[in-house]
Chain A
C-alpha cells in the first residue's frame, strides 16, 4: 500500500511569506505527527494529532506555526511570516494509533527561506 506522502517535496520562499505543507498519512492511520529536521540534527517534534484534534502541540516553536487536520486524514502545517531560521526538512509521520509502536515517516518537504 501507499506510504505517507508529503507535498511539495521542495519549497523555496522569501522571508515574510506564508507557506503550507501538506501530509497525507497511510490509510487507516489515526495518529499523525509533524517533525522538522535541520542539517546535522535529529528530527525535532512539533505536534501530533489523534483524529482531528491536536493531542500535543508543545513542540511548535511559536505562534507563527499552526497545523490542522480537519477530517482526521490529511494534515496541513502552516507557517506565517517565514524566517530564514525556519529552513529545514519538515517530516510527517503516521501510526495506527497513538499507542502504536511504529511511526512511519514520509519523504519530507525541504523548506528554504531566502
Chain B
C-alpha cells in the first residue's frame, strides 16, 4: 500500500516565525517529492519539488528530504498571513509512474 502521511493540523504559527510541515511516505524506492499549497476553495499550486537527499531552498521555502527515514519536510521562513493555506505533500512512487499520491494535507494558520 503506497501511503503519504501528514499531520492534519491545524498548525498555528505567529507572523514572522518558521513554520515546519512534515510528511512521511511508505515506499523507500520513491524518487520524486512535491509540496503543493491549496487555498480554501482553490486548486493545488506547486511550491517545491525535490528529488535528492538534503535541502532545496527557494525564497522563503526550504524542502528537506531524507530517503533513509522516508521523510520530507517543508520549512517556511518569515511566515506571512498570506501563507495560511493547506499544504499537501505528494509523492510519485516508483519509476515509470507519473501519478501523484497525496497526503491529506496540513492546514497552516499564520496569526498576525
Contacts and interface: CB of A to CB of B under 8 A. Distances in A.
Interface residues of B, number: 19
B99 A59 contact: yes
Interface stretch (A14-22, A43-51, A68-76, A77-85): A43-51
Contacts, number: 49
Given A48-B99, A59-B99, A40 B104 contact: yes
B104 A56 contact: no
B69 interface: no
A106 B90 contact: no
Given A41-B104, A42-B105, A102-B49, A56 B44 contact: no
Contact of A103 (B42, B46, B97): B46
A25 B99 CA distance: 17
A105 B98 contact: no
Given A48-B99, A59-B99, A98-B98, A91 B43 contact: yes
Instruction: List 8 tightest A-B contacts by C-beta distance, closest first.
Output: A42-B102, A105-B43, A45-B99, A98-B98, A43-B102, A105-B44, A102-B46, A42-B104
